[in-house]
Amino acid sequence: MPDIFVAKKKPVKTSPPQKTNALAAFIKKPKNINFETQEKKEEIVLFLRRHWITNVPWVLVIVLMLVAPVFLRFFPLLDFLPGRFQFITLIGWYLLTTAVVFEKFLSWLFNVNIITDERIVDIDFPSLLYREISSAKIDQVQDISTKVGGFIRSLFNYGDVLIQTAGTEPEICFEAVPQPGQVAKILNQMMLEEEQEKIEGRVR
């Protein structure tokens, strides 16, 4: 029996996959990035991490740590130590600085938020060898709100995206991500598509 009414499939506006810059904070459809709990047919739609400007405070601290030994010439705090101890202390200091740089960089690089065609995923590494992965299906998302406040956040267009869900994780927060308005728009669009799929009975 011929169908009386066939709903036209709305063409989904999606940009082509971008050439992935591993250090970018806002990547649409990244190539060559996968996460551990990703399913075979699941595609990453948006890959986010904190805006690069959020790194400025710790970079300034590192600059201070790097130049701190120079001030020992003017304030000889270590002069009571023999030369060999001063030398090893200096090497130890720079080793510690290296560790701080590496840890801070890793924290920025791997604390990410991912929106796939099926769900939203929040990957956090709050401390050494500890990780938190929270996720919620798109159809469980109930409310999306964005928060951009303050001079720096407005200037560089970054902020928080708060996602209320009906899942086990009641709220997922994308912290200090670039273009929060755009993120919310994409999420809203995906929620509509998901609802449309439910109405039409399409199940992936």
Partner 1 sequence: MNSEQLIEFLTKLAANPWILLKILFLVAFLIYVAFAVIVVRQVNLMIKTLDGVLNLPLRMIAWIHLLAALIVFVLAVVIL
37: tokens are 């709990």
By CB under 8 A, which span of 64-72, 123-131, 154-162, 190-198 interacts with partner 1?
123-131
Give the amino acid at 40: K
Residue linked to tokens 């303050």: 150
Q: Considering the rule CB under 8 A, would residue 42 count as an interface residue with partner 1? A: no
Q: How many residues does the chain have?
A: 204
By CB under 8 A, which span of 1-9, 91-99, 144-152, 158-166 interacts with partner 1?
91-99
Q: Considering the rule CB under 8 A, would residue 131 count as an interface residue with partner 1? A: yes
Q: Which of 60, 71, 85, 198 binds partner 1 (CB under 8 A)?
A: 85
Nearest-angstrom CA–CA distance, 200 and 127:
44
DSSP lists the bridge partners of residue 162 as 145, 173
Q: Which of 7, 12, 22, 77 binds partner 1 (CB under 8 A)?
A: 22
Q: Considering the rule CB under 8 A, would residue 66 count as an interface residue with partner 1? A: no
Phi, psi of 15 (to 5 degrees): -80, 155
Q: Please, is 18 exposed, middle or buried when counting C-beta atoms within 10 Å of its C-beta (0-12, 13-18, 19+)?
A: middle
Describe the crossing of helices 83-110 and 56-71 by its angle, rounded to 10 degrees: 170
Q: Considering the rule CB under 8 A, would residue 19 count as an interface residue with partner 1? A: no
C-beta of 10 vs 84, nearer to partner 1: 84
Q: Considering the rule CB under 8 A, would residue 126 count as an interface residue with partner 1? A: no
Binding residues for partner 1, rule: CB under 8 A, are: 20, 22-23, 30, 32-36, 81-82, 84-85, 87-88, 91-92, 95-96, 98-99, 102-103, 106, 109-110, 112, 123, 125, 128-129, 131, 133
